[in-house]
Amino acid sequence: MRIGQRYSDEEIVSLIRSGKNLEQPVRHLYTEYYDNLTNFIRKNKGSQSDAEDVFQETILVFVDLVQQGKFRGDSSVKTFLYAIARNLWLNELKKRNRMFVQDTESQEYSPPDTEDLQQTLIRHESKQKVLQMIEQLGETCKKILLMYYYENLSMKEIYERMHYESEQVVRNQKYKCMKKLIGWIESNPGMKENVKELLAYGTEH
């Protein structure tokens, strides 16, 4: 791993889009923007913990938007991250009924399509709730599905890693997990389309 490697905005976007090794670009984002963004949150009545949470969420939103092809490079990565963090924090303050945001510092970083960004953040929040369904499947299902769909491991590899009695047992277990998950998605009218739209997998992947 190239620790401390500096990347251009184009390289960051390209690496995130490829989705193969997120650690390098994300590490770069932490090195370059963590202090500035967390300071901004702390200056606006946020605690250190709030600042860390907002920064984490900012990175999640940014990676999502880049992978969905919604970051077109009209503004710099720094401007975009600042806008995301600012909006996330404004939303959080609204929830807490504390509207005061010392905004002078962030104005220069606000991209023109703030309304679009607000919509994106609302969708992002809904998506996080949808993804929680995986959490509810239980630890075993979560592990198997992540290994198969995220790490792209074969059934044989999962069987070897999880020390099941046979590969068939893994296949059966995975089938049960998927059955459960699909059952939940389809039990709710309109949920499937909603989930597909939220995941927006048709665009980039």
Partner 1 sequence: MEPNINEQARWERIDAYLRHELTGNEQAAFEAEMRQNTALAEEVHSIRTAGEMARQYGQREELRSLHRKLTAHRQTAATDRNQGLRFYLRVAAIIVFLVVAWAGIGFTTLSPGSLHSDSFVAYLPETTRGPEAAKGPATVEQAMQAEYTKANYTRVAELYQKSRTKRLNEAFVAGNAFLALGQPDKAAACFKRVMSLSVRERNFDFYQDAEYYLAWAYLKNNQIDNAAKLFDKIYRNEFHTHNPDVGTWFYWKLKLLQWKKK
> What residues make contact with partner 1 under the rule CB under 8 A?
19, 22-23, 26-27, 30, 34, 52, 55-56, 59-60, 63, 127-128, 130-131, 133-135, 142, 145-146, 148-152, 171-172, 175, 178, 181-182, 185-186, 192, 195-196, 199, 201, 205
Q: How far is the C-alpha of 98 from the C-alpha of 24, rounded, in Å?
A: 36
Smallest gap from residue 95 Cβ to partner 1 (A): 21
Q: Residue 75's CB: how many other CB atoms inside 10 A?
A: 18
Query: Under 8 Å CB-to-CB from 17, ≥6 apart: which residues?
Result: 66, 67, 69, 204
Smallest gap from residue 116 Cβ to partner 1 (A): 21
Nearest alpha-carbon partner for 85 in 129, 22, 128, 42: 42
Smallest gap from residue 175 Cβ to partner 1 (A): 4
93 versus 134: smaller Cβ distance to partner 1: 134
Smallest gap from residue 73 Cβ to partner 1 (A): 21
30 versus 110: smaller Cβ distance to partner 1: 30
- How would you classify residue 145: left for phi > 0, otherwise alpha for psi between -120 and 50, otherwise beta? alpha
**Strands (DSSP E) along 44-199, which ranges?**
none
90 versus 145: smaller Cβ distance to partner 1: 145
121 versus 185: smaller Cβ distance to partner 1: 185
Smallest gap from residue 35 Cβ to partner 1 (A): 9
34 versus 164: smaller Cβ distance to partner 1: 34
20-45 burial by CB neighbour count: b if 16+ within 10 A, else e?
eeeebbbbbbeebbeeebbebbeebe
